[in-house]
A and B are shown apart, each in its own frame.
Chain A
């Protein structure tokens, strides 16, 4: 019998704590597959951020350092500068990266640090119970925007990939989703491409993944998936925003 589906070597054989229908597990898998593809597991140092993905070390079979909330790009900068031959990536949520950690991501990107950032945008603060994030859509109800996000008072959701693409230091930036097989296959391709940038020492690479948080959205996994493909993809357009080397 031919085995067609196995666990990536970079992932441990354990159950995750993620809620049913959460996309973090899928993004973990794609990230692990990309590590395997380039045979990076043994030379990788992952930087875990604060959010539902804080347990990165429980699921990935790699060296991991935990970062204070939002500071993962600065921590990764320190790691990479000290060990330029290691493969270094951060894995951050939208509260972590686009709110408290805005300065760190902008400046690590602008310096063109040779690191890869996996940015999981689920339009909310998952871990702390579904509060409003900088990426929360206008009108979206969260536990701290009970009347819906108000454009006048709270501004429009931040499109991080577009913002970062304007910086010369960014070599690769893409926005993907994992809500259906076609998007998933493309997400896999773009994450691999982002990793290739670092493997070939071609500079800062960034992948934003639109993701579902059924628990805090108060939706079933299927409804949450549909929301990603619907209003989220409408506002956060999928695509490759920067690909300086045409890899």
Chain B
């Protein structure tokens, strides 16, 4: 049996990344994710890896770009304003098909905002936060165990689809401590990286680039990326659901909001109310089919977020045509985290 640890979410991400074979970390300090660079600066040198505290988030993501272009597993972490700075290069990496991991332990905004738990970065994460029209894989852990497990999964999916992947968390899942069973990395098929730069040796030149100027070249490249996103939607959607069979109303939320929502659902079920629960784990690809299937039976959905309504747009696009989607959310900031009682009241309101 694996030994159980009692760690913070941010540490769980580091443990997951190291277990996944990541030895290259590049970052810049920002609250509430500082435990990640601190942990990595301590542990990576022991494993003969490379840790750099870069001069900025911009430099950090470009170091990731360079390292990942050689085929190693590389990552960076930051929080909302820092993630905004990285976006130009995330767009480049999506275009260049360079796999890597970006962790956003997001904070409240806009602007400098605050450091409280927030889901204000959903749009930025799933709609392609940078320019040009692209998507990256986005995973939203709701527990410390998931911070660990999904970090390993993120590296595997990133390589499988040759795409950047993001863990989208916040101060709740980042700084809270919970038990963690650090399972060994699952046996995944290792994909040969016949694109990775290594110096030509006796082989052909390899080029990693995003500039396509030839007639029709860029359109073809974009169709190729588009096909990849469709394949992800078909194969990689992940979600948690419970009590959806008999539900009169379905509560949905992701990440830290889902923890509070789940408690509210339990309170409702204790009172005999038929309330179901559906939590997207992959935000991109969004589990559209799970919502469609559940709303073939249950015609009311209550979406709860720590913002004024972002994921709700994807929920509305996914549900059956005759289902009603309600929303409850609060923009985050100090003192703005909803309580389970507050959410329970909302469930009663729409039940």
Contact = CB atoms under 8 A, between A and B. Distances in A.
Interface of A: 41-45, 47-48, 54, 57, 61-68, 71, 74-83, 86-87, 103-104, 106-107, 111
A63 B24 contact: no
Nearest to B210: A66
Interface residues of B, number: 38
Given A62-B200, A63-B200, A68-B88, A78 B206 contact: no
Contacts of A76: 66
Contact of B59 (A41, A44, A104): A104
Given A57-B205, A79-B67, 7 more contacts: A63-B199, A63-B206, A64-B207, A67-B62, A79-B66, A82-B67, A104-B55
Contacts of A63: 197-200, 205-207
Interface of B: 24, 26, 50, 52, 54-56, 58-60, 62-70, 72, 74, 88-89, 92, 96, 197-202, 205-211
B211 A42 contact: no
Contacts, number: 134
Contacts of B206: 63-64
A63 to B, nearest CB: 4
Contacts of A103: 55-56, 58-59
Contacts of B59: 71, 74, 77, 103-104, 107
Contacts of B52: 77, 81, 111
A79 B197 contact: yes
* Those 7 A-B pairs whose CB atoms lie nearest each other, nearest first: A78-B66, A74-B62, A78-B67, A78-B63, A75-B66, A43-B199, A71-B62
Nearest to A86: B199
Contacts of A74: 54, 58-60, 62-63, 65-66
A104 B89 CA distance: 14
Contacts of B207: 57, 63-66
B211 A54 contact: yes
Nearest to B66: A78
